[in-house]
Amino acid sequence: MSSKINQSPRHVAIIMDGNGRWATQRGKPRLFGHHAGARRVREIVRACPDLGVKYLTIFAFSTENWKRTQTEVAGLMSLFRRYISREAKALLDEGVRVRFIGDRIKLDEKLVRLMDELELMTADNSKVHLTIAINYGGRDEVSRATKRLAREVKAGELDPESVDGETLARHLDTYFLPDPDLVIRTSGEARISNFLLWQSAYAEYEFIDTLWPDFNKKIFADIVGSYSSRNRRFGAVTT
Ligand code: FPP
């Protein structure tokens, strides 16, 4: 299979990095950067329909982020609660369907309730599919999926010989998503950091120096535009 893309990436995933440095450069606490970052989320979600991006998945909090100071972790959790409460109506009105991936077990009850409500409230929307990763890690996701598969085998509901990539994909948090076509990481680090490990096997990557709070719809549009001129081969030889 070989193809010139010549179309927008259907699914874009973003590692929103650099909030802390952005705040430090301004002599402000790190949470100031996270708040500025949250405002950019709004702008980027709104830009999706015009750019032909149907699915947007953003990395808000990783399974490793618990290692940050208690102040920063609590501040981020509070920011997520506020973001959901404040943005819910606009997201609903703008046709955005919101879903969350990651392990909810470690999240506080109030946040989980808000997440559940937003998912339910926007369930009939389909203009843009926004997926927010909170307490998400690719390895953790694959481990949890494997545990579910093992339980089904133990219960006699699944023949182990029938297990293939499709079976595993159906047990991942992202079972409802197509694989990402394009993964963007801001702030100059060229790492995947445990984000969508299984799903991004054939994704294009774009690492840019811009810190997340400085990312904007113009930069987003430029990256989406350059994506369409690339050649995706999916492991095959170019013809
Ligand atoms: C990475 O920057 C960013 C995060 C760990 C948090 C991402 C969260 C937001 C953008 C806030 C809003 C999100 C939603 C969904 C409302 P960093 O802190 O690692 O930056 P640094 O590398 O400069 O320290």
pLDDT digits (tens, 9 = 90+) for 3-58: 556 799 999 999 999 999 999 999 999 999 999 999 999 999 999 999 999 999 99
> Does residue 65 have an active-site annotation?
yes
Q: Whose CA is nearest to atom 8 of ligand 1?
A: 60
> Does residue 214 have an active-site annotation?
no
Choice between 234 and 149, residue whose per-residue pLDDT is larger: 149
Residues 53-106: tens digit of each pLDDT = 999 999 999 999 999 999 999 999 999 999 999 999 999 999 999 999 999 999
Report yes or no: 148 and 111 within 8 Å, Cβ to Cβ: no
Residue 101 has φ and ψ, to the nearest 5°, of: -125, 160
**213 CB near ligand 1 (under 6 Å):** no
| pLDDT value at residue 69 | 98
**60 CB near ligand 1 (under 6 Å):** yes
Report yes or no: 10 and 181 within 8 Å, Cβ to Cβ: yes
> What CA–CA distance (Å, rounded) separates 185 from 16?
6
| pLDDT value at residue 2 | 47
The CA 136 to ligand 1 mean position distance, Å, reads: 13
Q: Pairing between strand 55-62 and 96-101?
A: unpaired
| pLDDT value at residue 236 | 74
| Biggest CA-to-CA distance, the chain | 59
Task: Return all residues near 17 (Cβ < 8 A) that are at least 6 apart.
Answer: 185, 186, 187, 189, 211, 212
**19 CB near ligand 1 (under 6 Å):** yes
Q: What is the CA radius of gyration of the chain?
A: 18
**102 CB near ligand 1 (under 6 Å):** no
The full set of domains in the chain, from first to last, is 8-138+181-224 (3.40.1180.10)
